[in-house]
Structure 1
Amino acid sequence: MLRVRCFRGGSRGAESAHFLAQKHISTTPRHRFLCSLTQGPHHLKPLQYHPFPFAPRGGFFTNRNSRISATISPIRRLASIAPPHQTPAQSEMGTDVENELDMFIERERDNSVHAESKERREPCPVNSYTEWDPLEEVIVGRAENACVPPFTVEVKANTSENYWNFFKENGGKSFPKEHLKHAVAQISELCRVLEGEGVTVRRPDIVDWSKPYSTPDFKSTGLYAAMPRDILLVVGDEIIEAPMAWRSRFFEYRAFRPLLLEYFRRGARWTTAPKPLMQDELYNKDYPVFSVKDRNALVEKGHFVTTEHEPCFDAADFIRAGRDIFAQRSQVTNNSGIEWMRRHLWPRFRVHKVSFRDPNPMHIDATFNIIGPGLVISNPDRPCKQIEMFKKAGWKTITPPDPLIPHDHPLWMSSRWLSINVLMLDEHRVLVEKEEQTTQKMFEKLGITPIPVSIRFANSLGGGFHCWTCDIRRRGGYASYFD
């Protein structure tokens, strides 16, 4: 028995090479080369497949989510190379091999699903492709021990000048205790509402974020574990842990790590994006922000506080619609971070970069929130520069009413447009702020039932319903909605 371990894309690519070698039907150099990849000095023998249901990417065929098509591509390219002396008949044989390879890929994918289903006692606990499929399980953040971040250059670039003195005076300390108490109570009520709607609710660990920490490159205190949407992106059965861009959020993943370990052990795929060192080179230390007006001019020219020194991104700068994922370059997500995500998810998913006339881009879901197949809420104050692309694809854009949140309500790290930062329970139900009656009426006109819940005090910490949650499992599958 021959056991193959490595060929470009790992054992999957090797097994494909073995398949081609077994099926070789000519003596051209390309087929002799393919044969030599697996045969060596011995005769070819049948491969033995190893049913490891939790095999890592690059592992075994029996992982039902293996990117077989992607890892086969080097083999297919080799099979299609026609030497100068090749005859037309031999070229046609190469085409036959490619056709057989395609059928082999599909057959192995089907076989792997059956093999894995026998090994597992339960379906994968992680499954979410869109923002609107029926919600079954969700992580809800925690306001407990939330700590004001130190007033660093990246915090200054992302906050309003009205609160700069607040950050200067309170950096490293707790947010106002009474305010936090109300926020904790409101999020507890949110959890009860979700459970009442049939959704399983999970929570991160409670952590003391006031403890100072240091790396070889910087010192800081923490922030919170309030916004799981910022740090976790679920794509299919994979949880992607974002690297983040604020130094105060460097260790935020620790609050979610027990949950991620549990999901991994139950069969989910779990990827941690490259963690930036967050050295000074990642930030434009001389970012000349003296007012919001200054920042508007800089962003309009494409200047951000984060550089391209190393990839960084927050998960909340990505929003999903099946096969297609939309991302924005923001103060916390650089082009390198978007490119990392594009390469990581290709070819099964397409990552599109979009931009907005936003004076302070940070997280896409209060600017452009997809609420159904081909249906998106578009912030009128931050119009999408690529909106024609969506119209050509047949999408419908909804212009929301102005938010009703009082101007004097403290919003230390967000804007009043959290009114559209809603969470879809399915295509027909949505969580909406209780006091945003005009937004509720907008949804009613769309045939969507609003479920009003008040999280005004929780809004102050930087997020609405979408930010405060991360959907782990939705009842739906892979599909294309943007063609």
Structure 2
Amino acid sequence: MSLVDVHNEWDPLEEVIVGTAVDALVPKADRSMMVIEFSDYDSPDDVPVGPYDQRVLEETENDLETFATELRKAGVTVRRPMPRDHSVMAGTPDWQTDSFCDYCPRDGFLAIGDTIIETPMPLRSRFFEYLAYKDLFLEYFRSGARWISAPKPRLNDAMYRPEAPAGQRLENLEPCFDAANVIRIGTDLLYLVSDSGNELGAQWLQSAVGDRYTVTPVRDVYAYTHIDTTFVPLRPGLVMVNSSRVTKENMPEPLRGWDHIYAPAPVDTGYVGPRANGSLWVGMNMLSISPDLVAVDKRQVGLIRELERHRIDVIPVQLTHSRALGGGFHCVTLDVRRRGTLETYR
């Protein structure tokens, strides 16, 4: 039996990969970084590259292990990536870079049904991130899972326009997207068109998953990067949405008939270092354990009250440096098995 079997964001969770912050660094400020991570900087020379503060990494690793322990208590199998040396320079004939970190497995890998998909990420510094997960993916493959990779993008300079407005900085020259641009709602896959996912990426994903699924491009909602601080499907018919981005007019068609919880303004949890890598809205980034249980940052008291008002219980945990590292509980996980079947929820 395949160890990979997942159809949506909320069915009872059985197995998950939790990332790591060990030896994370801010990689070389190349053209791809200036589009996706540092668009607020005028010059690559101004970007604070290099290792993160060691205290931040140690505290984050402790937070991740506490989170993993809570998941195990809930009956979930937890897996972790292999360690890597992020300072090693690697590249292609077009570019060279060091690497980011393995904190957010959600960004590079997409589990749909019994398939693991390695997505064609736009950041050069994440080109080789699959190496941290390869042993796990081999194990899943041997268990009967499908394992495919999108065509590796060239990522040459023509792919990026750092000077363009948000949402227009990633060119449409080849399929290119982060897995975190996608959320699964049974046979519907919502795909955020943004600076971390272009139109050709949506087309490639549709070709990869076939006619059983419908990939719906989500446009003009959030221009910068990922979808999971904008829409959080909680159970069939109920979705939490970002109250600063989502309106009735730009609500994706598959969610229009659902009940909508407009997330309250998040608590500013602060950050260490010269800048935040994640917005305030990383506070609504949560992981569903089941349709009535989610893992949420315990500092987001208004959000927790709103969830409990809709009869959803909370595991209160914390990622102290979620804004500094740019990832909440959905970001730092990759759910590979949930107990449920493929359904249509329109």
* TM-score band w.r.t. shorter chain: over 0.9
Inter-CA distance 216–345: structure 2 relative to 1 (3 Å threshold): same
Partner of 2:18 in structure 1? 140
Partner of 1:183 in structure 2? 60
Alpha-carbon distance between aligned partners in 2 of 1:438 and 1:322, rounded to the nearest angstrom: 29
Q: Deviations over 1:25-70 (max 9, x none)?
A: xxxxxxxxxxxxxxxxxxxxxxxxxxxxxxxxxxxxxxxxxxxxxx
Displacement of 1:458 in angstroms is 4.0
Q: 2:282 aligns with which of 389, 406, 418?
A: 418
Contact 1:375/1:397 (<8 A) preserved: yes
Inter-CA distance 434–340: structure 2 relative to 1 (3 Å threshold): same
Alpha-carbon distance between aligned partners in 1 of 2:252 and 2:76, rounded to the nearest angstrom: 36
Aligned-pair identity in percent equals: 37
Contact 1:184/1:458 (<8 A) preserved: no
Q: 2:180 aligns with which of 311, 316, 333?
A: 316
Alpha-carbon distance between aligned partners in 2 of 1:387 and 1:167, rounded to the nearest angstrom: 39
3-state secondary structure, aligned to 2:233: strand
Partner of 1:150 in structure 2? 28
Partner of 1:370 in structure 2? 233
Partner of 1:193 in structure 2? 70
Alpha-carbon distance between aligned partners in 2 of 1:340 and 1:388, rounded to the nearest angstrom: 20
> What aligned pairs does 1:59-98 form with structure 2 within 5 A after superposition?
none
Displacement of 1:169 in angstroms is 5.1
3-state secondary structure, aligned to 2:325: coil
Question: Which protein has the bigger helix share?
Answer: 1
Query: Is the aligned partner of 1:204 residue 2:81?
Result: yes
3-state secondary structure, aligned to 2:82: coil
Partner of 2:224 in structure 1? 361
3-state secondary structure, aligned to 2:65: helix
Partner of 1:452 in structure 2? 316
Alpha-carbon distance between aligned partners in 1 of 2:71 and 2:117, rounded to the nearest angstrom: 24
Alpha-carbon distance between aligned partners in 2 of 1:149 and 1:264, rounded to the nearest angstrom: 31
TM-score w.r.t. structure 1 length? 0.68
3-state secondary structure, aligned to 1:387: coil
3-state secondary structure, aligned to 2:224: coil
Displacement of 1:152 in angstroms is 2.4
3-state secondary structure, aligned to 1:444: helix
Alpha-carbon distance between aligned partners in 2 of 1:148 and 1:185, rounded to the nearest angstrom: 20
Displacement of 1:461 in angstroms is 1.0
Displacement of 1:409 in angstroms is 5.5
Contact 2:176/2:200 (<8 A) preserved: yes
Flag the structure with more relative contact order, 1 or 2, with Cα contacts below 8 A and sequence separation at least 6: 2
Query: Is the aligned partner of 1:398 residue 2:275?
Result: no
Partner of 2:163 in structure 1? 288
Question: Which protein has the bigger strand share?
Answer: 2
Contact 1:142/1:225 (<8 A) preserved: yes
How many residue pairs get aligned? The number is 344
> What aligned pairs does 1:233-244 form with structure 2 within 5 A after superposition?
233-244=110-121
Contact 1:153/1:305 (<8 A) preserved: no
Partner of 1:465 in structure 2? 329
Displacement of 1:326 in angstroms is 0.4
Alpha-carbon distance between aligned partners in 2 of 1:453 and 1:180, rounded to the nearest angstrom: 17
Displacement of 1:389 in angstroms is 2.8
Alpha-carbon distance between aligned partners in 1 of 2:29 and 2:131, rounded to the nearest angstrom: 22
3-state secondary structure, aligned to 2:125: helix
Contact 2:29/2:44 (<8 A) preserved: no
Runs of 5+ unmatched residues, structure 2: none
> What aligned pairs does 1:377-396 form with structure 2 within 5 A after superposition?
377-383=240-246, 385-387=249-251, 389-390=253-254, 392=256, 394-396=257-259
Inter-CA distance 275–429: structure 2 relative to 1 (3 Å threshold): same
Alpha-carbon distance between aligned partners in 2 of 1:388 and 1:309, rounded to the nearest angstrom: 25
Q: Deviations over 1:362-404 (max 9, x none)?
A: 0100011211112111111112553273565x21111011111
Partner of 2:129 in structure 1? 252
Query: Is the aligned partner of 1:478 residue 2:328?
Result: no
AA in 2 matched with 1:194: L
Inter-CA distance 414–342: structure 2 relative to 1 (3 Å threshold): same
Alpha-carbon distance between aligned partners in 2 of 1:340 and 1:252, rounded to the nearest angstrom: 20
AA in 2 matched with 1:257: K
AA in 2 matched with 1:337: G
Q: 1:437 aligns with which of 301, 308, 316?
A: 301
Displacement of 1:328 in angstroms is 1.1
Alpha-carbon distance between aligned partners in 2 of 1:224 and 1:136, rounded to the nearest angstrom: 25
Contact 1:245/1:332 (<8 A) preserved: yes
Alpha-carbon distance between aligned partners in 2 of 1:216 and 1:226, rounded to the nearest angstrom: 27
3-state secondary structure, aligned to 2:342: coil
Alpha-carbon distance between aligned partners in 2 of 1:402 and 1:166, rounded to the nearest angstrom: 32
Q: Which runs of 4+ in 1 moved over 4 A?
A: 160-167, 407-411
TM-score w.r.t. structure 2 length? 0.94
Q: 1:216 aligns with which of 57, 69, 93?
A: 93
Contact 1:159/1:414 (<8 A) preserved: no
Q: Which has the larger radius of gyration?
A: 1
AA in 1 matched with 2:163: P
Q: Deviations over 1:418-453 (max 9, x none)?
A: 111100000010000011111111110010001100
3-state secondary structure, aligned to 1:327: strand
